[in-house]
């Protein structure tokens, strides 16, 4: 560098360099994103919220689709589960830059429909790709209809289930001669099994996630409460209709889980997994998706339906479904719609991959196949799909919503021993009433 180079010249050079780098650095994606169309012909954008084992299997399914359709430029985006995902999906759709296909929980999908963010899936379009109601799980399909119209294709049902340590249960005398778990279909049978399992483990009978987790306490409560036939909300979320007697019965029962030390009164999501994986608890209660965790841990375990404590002849369990939706966008041409439906059909076709992760497939041709029946322990709780109870309708309700946070928080205080069932119930009612009385922003 020459010594007589002025400061001004250097500054100018640096500024020029900076501008050049900036433009080069963000050229393709940012500029094309700012453009009007954004997508080249033959492209397909897909959003999902799957992490862990689900994420791995979703990637496999996407790779299979790419291999079968090399002409389609598939862009898949995975975002954080829960509220952040739905916020982004809503905003992208409002901003007219939605993905072509997206995953939505059945219970959240209805709110998106109410906000006019989803494309109606016309029967004739679905039929062109061989997707007809008779080929989809009836409970999931019918629960997903909004005023008789379809806006989502269910991929699965994911019920709350019971994991059990087969070694512990055998030593506790809880397995019959065929190696199946004995029925735990009453409060006493359930608590007795937990006592016997505790004697074997020397620590806890069962374990469930309580701390820093509102979804799990809600799922336990809702499973038992709906076995009693209880409802929480009515009129699309505008009325709180909790049945005090039934709710108190369930909460009193839940208090017994931890009060006598059958369950740890303090366990977070990962801690509960660890307790079960290390054999410090004989039973674990969670959604079926944790199957991969325990398979990886190479521990002796199996899975079955969440116990039917109160249902008698009628089984009920909290569940939701992952569904595939098509967000609204202006000027959608027929080819784009076809590509979207092709992807949806491809996911359904790959239900075997998806079911390996524990989810009960909604695609009847696979669910009724011998291949699925042979898949254990997955097929042992498939009946849960028929007893699936979805979260009640309401603009503030659904998986991961404020509804689950409000109810789950109150229930976790009972499990944690910080509040009596009566106080927790009063708190739940007050907070839900507040939400029910708030004018819907949708």
Partner 1 sequence: MSTTETAVRPRSAAAPRPGPRRAERIGRPAAAFLAPFLVLYLLFIIGPALYGLVMSFFNTSLVHPGLGSFAGLSNYADALGSADFWSSLWHTIWFTVLTTPPLIVLAFVFALLADRAPRGRWFFRLAFFMPFILPSAVVALIWFFLYTPGLGLIEVGLAKFGLAAPVWLGDPTWAMPALAITTIWWTLGFNFVLYLAGMQEIPRELYEASSIDGASPWQQIRRVTVPLLGRTTTLVAVLQVIASLKVFDQMYLITQGGPNFATRSILQYIYDEGFTNYRTGYAAALSMLFFVIVLAVSAIWFSIVRRQEKEV
The verdict on 409 binding partner 1 (CB under 8 A) reads: yes
Rounded to a whole number, what is the distance in angstroms from the first to the last CA of the chain? Answer: 64
* 3-state SS, residue 385: helix
**190, 184 Cβ separation under 8 angstroms:** yes
Pick from 99, 412, 429, 436 the residue near partner 1 by CB under 8 A. 412
Question: How buried is 370 (Cβ within 10 angstroms: 0-12 exposed, 13-18 middle, 19+ buried)?
Answer: exposed
Q: How far is the CB of 388 from partner 1 (least distance, A)?
A: 24
C-alpha 288/C-alpha 284 separation (Å) is: 11
Closer by beta carbon to partner 1, 88 or else 256 = 88
Tally the residues of the chain.
442
The verdict on 330 binding partner 1 (CB under 8 A) reads: no
16 backbone φψ class: left, alpha, beta (φ>0; ψ -120 to 50): alpha
Closer by beta carbon to partner 1, 214 or else 378 = 214
Stretch that binds partner 1, among 233-241, 311-319, 322-330, 399-407 (CB under 8 A): 399-407
The verdict on 422 binding partner 1 (CB under 8 A) reads: no
How many angstroms from the chain centroid is the CA of residue 87? Answer: 16
C-alpha 430/C-alpha 428 separation (Å) is: 6
Closer by beta carbon to partner 1, 214 or else 308 = 214
Query: DSSP readout, 87-153?
Result: HHHHHHHHTT---SEEEEEHHHHHHHHHTT-B----HHHHHHTT--GGGB-HHHHHHT-BTTB--EE
Stretch that binds partner 1, among 45-53, 243-251, 335-343, 430-438 (CB under 8 A): 430-438
The verdict on 401 binding partner 1 (CB under 8 A) reads: yes
The verdict on 399 binding partner 1 (CB under 8 A) reads: no
C-alpha 405/C-alpha 33 separation (Å) is: 35
Pick from 42, 52, 84, 130 the residue near partner 1 by CB under 8 A. 84
Stretch that binds partner 1, among 14-22, 261-269, 312-320, 367-375 (CB under 8 A): 261-269
Stretch that binds partner 1, among 44-52, 130-138, 254-262, 267-275 (CB under 8 A): 267-275
The verdict on 267 binding partner 1 (CB under 8 A) reads: yes
The verdict on 212 binding partner 1 (CB under 8 A) reads: yes
C-alpha 45/C-alpha 39 separation (Å) is: 9
How many angstroms from the chain centroid is the CA of residue 7? Answer: 60
The verdict on 421 binding partner 1 (CB under 8 A) reads: no
Contacts with 427 (C-beta within 8 Å, 6 or more apart), sequence order: 410, 413, 419
The verdict on 410 binding partner 1 (CB under 8 A) reads: yes
Stretch that binds partner 1, among 133-141, 178-186, 295-303, 415-423 (CB under 8 A): 415-423
Instruction: Give the binding site for partner 1 (CB under 8 A).
Output: 83-84, 87, 90-91, 94, 115, 117, 210-214, 264-268, 270-271, 274-275, 395-396, 401-402, 405, 409-410, 412-413, 416, 418-419, 427, 431, 434, 438-439, 441-442
């Amino acid at each position: 560098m020459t010594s007589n180079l002025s400061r001004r010249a250097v500054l100018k050079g640096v500024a020029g360099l900076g501008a050049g780098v900036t433009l080069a650095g963000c050229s393709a994606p940012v500029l094309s994103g700012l453009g009007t169309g954004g997508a080249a012909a033959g492209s397909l954008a897909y959003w999902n919220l799957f992490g862990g084992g689900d994420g791995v299997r979703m990637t496999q399914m996407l790779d299979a689709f790419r291999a079968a359709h090399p002409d389609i430029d598939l862009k898949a985006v995975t975002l954080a589960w829960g509220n952040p995902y739905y916020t982004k999906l809503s905003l992208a759709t409002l901003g007219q830059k939605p993905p072509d296909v997206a995953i939505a929980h059945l219970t959240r999908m209805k709110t998106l429909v109410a906000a006019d963010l989803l494309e109606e899936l016309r029967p004739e379009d679905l039929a062109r790709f061989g997707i007809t109601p008779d080929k989809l799980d009836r409970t999931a399909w019918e629960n997903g209809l909004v005023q008789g119209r379809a806006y989502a294709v269910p991929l699965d049902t994911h019920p709350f289930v019971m994991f059990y340590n087969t070694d512990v249960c055998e030593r506790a005398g809880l397995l019959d001669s065929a190696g199946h778990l004995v029925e735990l279909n009453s409060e006493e049978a359930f608590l007795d099994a937990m006592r016997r399992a505790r004697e074997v483990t020397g620590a806890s009978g069962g374990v469930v996630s309580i701390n820093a987790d509102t979804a799990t306490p809600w799922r336990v409560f809702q499973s038992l409460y709906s076995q009693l036939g209880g409802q929480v909300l009515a009129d699309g979320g505008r009325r709180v209709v909790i049945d005090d007697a039934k709710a108190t019965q369930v909460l009193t029962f839940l208090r017994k889980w931890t009060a006598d030390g059958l369950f740890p009164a303090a366990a977070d999501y990962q801690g509960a997994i660890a307790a079960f994986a290390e054999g410090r608890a004989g039973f674990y209660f969670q959604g079926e998706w944790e199957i991969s965790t325990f398979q990886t841990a190479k521990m002796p375990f199996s899975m079955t339906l969440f116990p039917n404590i109160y249902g008698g002849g009628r089984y009920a369990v909290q569940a939701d479904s992952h569904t595939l939706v098509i967000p609204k966008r202006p000027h959608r041409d027929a080819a784009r719609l076809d590509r979207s439906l092709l992807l949806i059909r491809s996911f359904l076709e790959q239900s075997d991959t998806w079911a390996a992760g524990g989810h009960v497939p909604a695609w009847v041709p696979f669910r009724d196949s011998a291949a699925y029946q042979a898949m254990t322990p997955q097929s042992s709780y498939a009946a849960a799909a028929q007893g699936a109870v979805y979260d009640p309708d309401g603009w503030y309700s659904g998986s991961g919503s404020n509804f689950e946070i409000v109810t789950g928080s109150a229930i976790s205080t009972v499990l944690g021993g910080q509040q009596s069932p009566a106080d927790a119930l009063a708190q739940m009612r007050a907070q839900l009433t507040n939400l029910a009385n708030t004018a819907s922003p949708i």
